[in-house]
Structure formats: C-alpha cells, structure tokens
Amino acid sequence: GESVGLHLPTLSVQEGDNSIINCAYSNSASDYFIWYKQESGKGPQFIIDIRSNMDKRQGQRVTVLLNKTVKHLSLQIAATQPGDSAVYFCAEVTSGTYKYIFGTGTRLKVLA
C-alpha cells in the first residue's frame, strides 16, 4: 500500500503484481511529459514519455496515462520485478521552453 515517508511517498507492491504510480502536474500549458526512474546513487533514467495529443502510450511493461482534464499522469508497471525498485519522477514541460518541472517523486518498493 501507500505511505508517506519523511519526504517521499512510498508504494510497496508484491513481486509480480502491477504497480501504479500517480503524478499530479501543475501547468495546464504543459504538453510533454516524461517519467524517469532513479536508482539509489544514480542519475535519473528515461522510462517513457507522452505528448498532450495522446492519452495513453505503452512501452515494454510500462504504460503512461494522461488525463488533461484533471492534470493527472500515471505510470503503470506490469508484473513488477525487484529491479523496478527505485524512485520514480514525473516531469512536465511546455514545448519551446526549457522549464522542466519535476514532481516530488514516489519510491517503489518491490516485496519478494
């Protein structure tokens, strides 16, 4: 289940289950969104992106859903594996600008 830690909210899931990580974005003008994965001691890595003319995009085991009406973004990870344990950040930006806005992040813990 979800819990709020000192700073980062944490989502704990059983290995093999699906994970859903949510992100509320702030700027209604944002038209490009990215999910990043950050493992301990490493830099953020790109997972998947979506533009505002889409509401769903699928990758390998990951799906991003975009709801512009409520300014909500979600990342779904199918059949979660131990290697998925990391902090996940969403980022939003408006085309033609450089102002990437990062969410606070969610820590995903995969339980064996």
Partner 1 sequence: NAGVMQNPRHLVRRRGQEARLRCSPMKGHSHVYWYRQLPEEGLKFMVYLQKENIIDESGMPKERFSAEFPKEGPSILRIQQVVRGDSAAYFCASSPETSAGELFFGEGSRLTVL
Q: What letters, b where the CB count within 10 A reaches 16 and e where it falls short, cover 61-99?
A: ebbbbbeeeeeebebbbeebeeebbbbbbbbbbbeeeee
- Which residue's CB is nearer to partner 1, number 77 or number 91? 91
- State whether residue 76 is helix, strand or coil: strand
Binds partner 1 by CB under 8 A, chosen from 4, 7, 26, 83:
7
- Rule CB under 8 A: say whether 89 interacts with partner 1: yes
Stretch that binds partner 1, among 16-24, 42-50, 54-62, 76-84 (CB under 8 A): 42-50
The site for partner 1 (CB under 8 A) is made up of: 5-8, 31-32, 34, 36, 42-46, 49, 51, 89, 91, 93-100, 102-105
